Amino acid sequence: MAGPRNALRDMAACLGFYTRLPLPAFEMPAHGFANAQWAAPLTGLFIGAVCAAALTGVIMLGLPATIAAAIALVVSVLLTGGLHEDGLADVADGFGGGSTREKKLAIMKDSRIGSYGVVALILSFLLRWSALVALGLAAIPALLIAHTASRALMPALMRLSPPARDNGLSAGAGRPSRGTVLVALAISGVLLLVPGPGFAVIAAPLLALALFLIKWLAERQIGGQTGDVLGALQQLAETVLLIAAVAHFT
């Protein structure tokens, strides 16, 4: 992250990877995709802003909060292509259905979804939808915070935990520098403070717990992290933050 031009390139790389927007092809950052991950929370901020705008629009039309919350989730999936939801389902299937490390990794690589993955997705959507309904208009800042801070944890896990595969997506991206991780966490920290210190006091320990829980589980199950594990971490952190927002705002 050395200069405005590289910073813009990093942001474009993250936006292009984490969303399905029809963006032009951008040159990959010279310092590697892993070190561009400081911008992952900024991509999350963009996604959260679009979801919040959709939710606001639906509420302004006079429709109930239940519909607004569902539309916000639909917009999120459309923007990202369900990238992190796919990771959550693969992790649930692999960790739940595999008896050995090799079988777990093979299941996670399989494009088909099993019963563990279906249950994980149902619970994820149900918890997030319920939280957004309970929040009402307070879901607007909650969406911004949840989408931003949940993606700030991904470079941290990439640095703390080794890749489980030699040729996987995460292994190909590399290991982010300490500075990359700190910048991503700093961006997240600023957003956590927006509702007030009280919210940060609730949310920060929950995010740390989510990070180290996923780290411990992934290393125990498959020896490290993968792109799917990073997606599962994002989903867990987003859900936890939305529930924390309900506790804080309501």
pLDDT in tens, 174-214: 899 999 999 999 999 999 999 999 999 999 999 999 999 99
pLDDT tier at 1, thresholds 50, 70, 90: very low
pLDDT tier at 250, thresholds 50, 70, 90: confident
The tens digit of pLDDT for each residue in 22-57 reads 887 666 676 788 999 999 999 999 999 999 999 999
How much is the pLDDT for 2? 53
What mean pLDDT is predicted for residues 150-163?
97
Is the pLDDT at 146 greater than 70? The verdict is yes
How much is the pLDDT for 8? 87
Give 225's strand partners: 163
Q: Give me 230's structure tokens.
A: 């990073």
Q: Which residues of 133-162 are buried (b: 16+ CB within 10 A; e: fewer)?
A: bbbeebbbbbbbbbbbbbbbbbbbbbbebe
Category of 62 on φ-ψ map: left (φ > 0), alpha (ψ -120 to 50) or beta: left
Distance in angstroms (rounded) separating the CA atoms of residues 198 and 192 = 9
How much is the pLDDT for 171? 67
The tens digit of pLDDT for each residue in 79-123 reads 999 999 999 999 999 999 999 999 999 999 999 999 999 999 999
In the three-class reduction of DSSP (H, G, I as helix; E, B as strand; rest coil), residue 14 is classed as helix
What mean pLDDT is predicted for residues 15-28?
83
Q: Where are the domains of the chain?
A: 39-249
Q: Which are the contacts of 127, defined by CB distance < 8 A and separation ≥ 6?
A: 239, 242, 243
Mean pLDDT of the chain, nearest integer: 94
Residue 163 carries which DSSP code? B
How much is the pLDDT for 26? 62
CA atoms within a 13 Å half-sphere pointing along the CA-CB vector of 47: 34
Q: For residue 148, which of 177, 190, 208 has the smallest C-alpha distance?
A: 190
Q: Give me 36's structure tokens.
A: 């561009």
